[in-house]
Structure 1
């Protein structure tokens, strides 16, 4: 039963990424009334009929997925018993990091379900402004930016190498492999841009640069042919959302 709730976390992630992709495309066409970010996606959902109930369900499934990932960090995957002392350090770190991401999703969903959700871009910029006031804070931001950049690079590598196939219970079809490739690369590039902007915020002393995914996508949109780039980014993130539905059914847990 708990595994089913954890798998439902992939469904929730898929919905969130589809909404982020949709919002990014809206920004490209000049209709950016919501942030193209996790908080923007959940704010959009909260405005729909029945959206609050869906958000409460999302809180439960995101918490379940987060706890499942923490268990994997300690014991390894239930479908892949580990020899010796359990999963290797990289797998532990990866599982723990994904668990943190899902608990962050749960926290954001909880805020919007209660009607007290806040813009993640504003929160990121506010936190960055406080950290920029000290040398230690600047160091933390640079490290955070490098970590986010590394996570983005890993997503790109995982997509291009098709290593995501190993996460599935059976060999996927060509269509599923294409979804995974495009989705992982698109999400990796978006995360990489977020990481770069966090580092830029430190060196330019501009906390608004570190506004998270929404800020990264809007920075992309401000470039030459920005509208086209934003549409492509939105479609790519949406494809990652579709691949999340595949993971809900076929992921090794």
Structure 2
């Protein structure tokens, strides 16, 4: 994205003017957003909100491993918050900062990250991947913000029930089944990416400055645990298609309970729950040190 940092050059290069103007415009917008301290701080607060949700999901997963029948998912975590005194107000705050973080990530995906604009030799493939990833994560944060909004209003529903309903409708047609398989493969790919990112400690590249061994340990365990859970979700969607059973595709709660049903499942589920808690703690670090 070297041309992004040289808007003046665009006016001096004749036939290449159009391309340079458009990318320079995108960079300037991203740059203005990145220089808005209030916007950046609210976006960083979104990582705190995400971390809190992951802490609660990990806690619920451990409770399920010990015999509870609670819903170990994002909606289960938000329901837990809603049930506490002042919970709906807290959910309103979480909804707002998650929405801002989603907007920030969407802007990075569409316009490019301002931090890259001064890198003359930026790898175009890496840049494209980063943009696609930013857009994808923006939808995740939008979805979580929308779910938090529902629970703040007192109309929140189980995400597992929603997933089951959508799956049941798609299973009614051949095209829907193909779409489910494609979605499952994408989900599995995301899960494997998380595992790889954690195992190779690639998440360090998302943070400013030097990272401590504690932060690296939190990120490694957190990304691997989240990757395992996401991969199982994708596998269950495929199982739902081939077994014509939409109940299998009921999201994170079903994935975690499937892990718990395996041999030594109690220990496996506790390990994943602890990993999700560590991911939540890592998200708090990310709120402070993430490259924005």
Question: TM > 0.5 between the two?
Answer: yes
Check if 1:186 corresponds to 2:231.
no
Distance 1:68 1:124 in 2: 27
SS at match of 1:185: helix
Provide the residue aligned with 1:164 in structure 2: 203
2:180 paired residue among 141, 145, 151 = 141
Q: Displacement, 1:74?
A: 1.7
| 2:47 matches 1:10 | yes
1:114-137 deviations in whole A, cap 9, x for unaligned?
A: 000000001100110000000010
Match of 2:160 among 121, 124, 134: 121
Q: 1:154 aligns with which of 158, 174, 193?
A: 193
Task: Give how far 1:85 is off.
Answer: 11
Two-structure CA RMSD over aligned residues (Å): 1.4
Partner of 2:33: none
Q: Distance in 2 between matches of 1:152 and 1:251?
A: 21
**Which digits, 9 at most, give the CA deviation of each residue in 1:37-74, with x for residues without a partner?**
00000000000111111100011101100000010002
- Deviation at 1:88? 2.6
TM (normalized to structure 1)?
0.97
2:273 equivalent among 225, 228, 234: 234
1:212 Cα deviation from its structure 2 partner: 0.4
Q: Does 1:71 align with 2:107?
A: yes
Deviation at 1:77, TM superposition (A): 1.8
Larger RCO of the pair (alpha carbons < 8 Å, separation 6+): 1
Distance in 1 (alpha carbons) for counterparts of 2:193 and 2:123: 25
The 3-state SS of whatever aligns with 1:182 is helix
TM-score (norm 2): 0.84
Give CA-to-partner distance per residue, 1:131-181, whole Å, 9 cap, x none. Answer: 000001001100110000000000011111111111001110111111111
Shift of 1:211: 0.6
Cα drift, residue 78 of structure 1: 2.3
CA contact (8 A) 1:77 1:252 kept: no
In the aligned structure 2, how far is the partner of 1:123 from the partner of 1:89?
Answer: 32
Q: Is the 8 A contact 1:148 1:191 kept in 2?
A: yes
What is the deviation of 1:231?
Answer: 0.8
| Secondary structure, aligned partner of 1:79 | helix
Larger Rg computed on CA atoms: 2
Matched residues in 1 for 2:112 and 2:284: separation? 23
Corresponding residue of 1:47: 83
SS in 2 for 1:70: helix
After superposition, residues 204-215 of structure 1 pair within 5 angstroms as 204-215=243-254
Tell me the residue number matched to 1:31. 68
Distance 1:176 1:133, change over 3 A: same
1:102 to 137, 141, 145: 141
